[in-house]
Structure 1
Amino acid sequence: MPVTTKEREKVAAVFSGACTQKKVCPVKDIMASYGDKWTMYTVLLLGQHQKMRFNELRCHISGISQRMLTVTLRSLEEDGIVLRTLYPEIPPRVEYQLTELGESLLKPLLQLAIWAEENVGEVLKARKKYGKKNKEE
């Protein structure tokens, strides 16, 4: 589906404000925080399961280290995307869930995930074609 003129105008409006050291560029800032594979996958998992414990998350995210998951969750908590609830039990129990702000982030991430699922074949073909072209040069 082609991008409409109105949608292109929205993109232009986002980039029209000059980003300086004193003015945060929202697109750069958000993409730097949430554009990595671990953060996106964590948000998508919490959106699917609603509440998860640390080890549940770690088991579902193939390849993530304990430290990386800790850093990811702390960053999401700091930004108000994830709520961490500590239950005063023995042993202590901690659960993570998306906040209302996190739920609002889930929607565009789901759109991206759907796009990726629908287009992975085309992307892989393009990569293969690009690799062959560069080997010939």
Structure 2
Amino acid sequence: MKKDIQTINKEIAYIQDTLYVINGKWKLPILIAIYNGVYRFREIQRYVGAITPKVLSNYLKDLEENKLVIRKVFDSSPVLVEYHITEYAKTLEPMMREMVSWGANHRIKISQESKTIN
């Protein structure tokens, strides 16, 4: 059954909202790192890879603004800052699992097709 234009427009808007929040080369890798217990800035940077401190800082701020991470500052010397996943961010887990599965299948499909072409 064909959907009406209003329903399709709503779905497109929701997808655009989702992409706004998780889009970018580094947002999901950062979330995965923090989700797996990597909490400190430099640890996140090492875990994620070739990301500059400025870019990481900007993405962490964006994730914090979107209620996906919490920045915790500990009163110590030197000051310790950690980033933690929010309960709200955990709602992304099923989607991320599906993305991992789809990506793995996609790699296989592309790999198989490139072998049949050669």
Residue correspondences, number? 114
Structure 1 residue runs of 4 or more that deviate by more than 4 Å after TM superposition: none
Question: Given the alignment of the two structures, is residue 25 of structure 1 paired with residue 13 of structure 2, yes or no?
Answer: yes
TM-score for both structures, normalised by structure 2: 0.80
Take 1:110 and 1:47, find their aligned partners in 2: how far apart are those partners?
Answer: 13
Take 2:52 and 2:107, find their aligned partners in 1: how far apart are those partners?
Answer: 26
> How far has the Cα of 1:96 moved from its partner?
0.6
Question: Given the alignment of the two structures, is residue 80 of structure 1 paired with residue 67 of structure 2, yes or no?
Answer: yes
SS at match of 1:112: helix
- Structural RMSD (CA): 2.7
Q: 1:40 — aligned with what?
A: 28
Q: Structure 2: 5+ residue runs without aligned partners?
A: none
Q: 2:39 — aligned with what?
A: 52
Identical aligned residues as a percent = 20
Counting only pairs closer than 5 Å after superposition, residues 5-16 of structure 1 correspond to structure 2 as 16=7
Q: Structure 1: 5+ residue runs without aligned partners?
A: 133-137
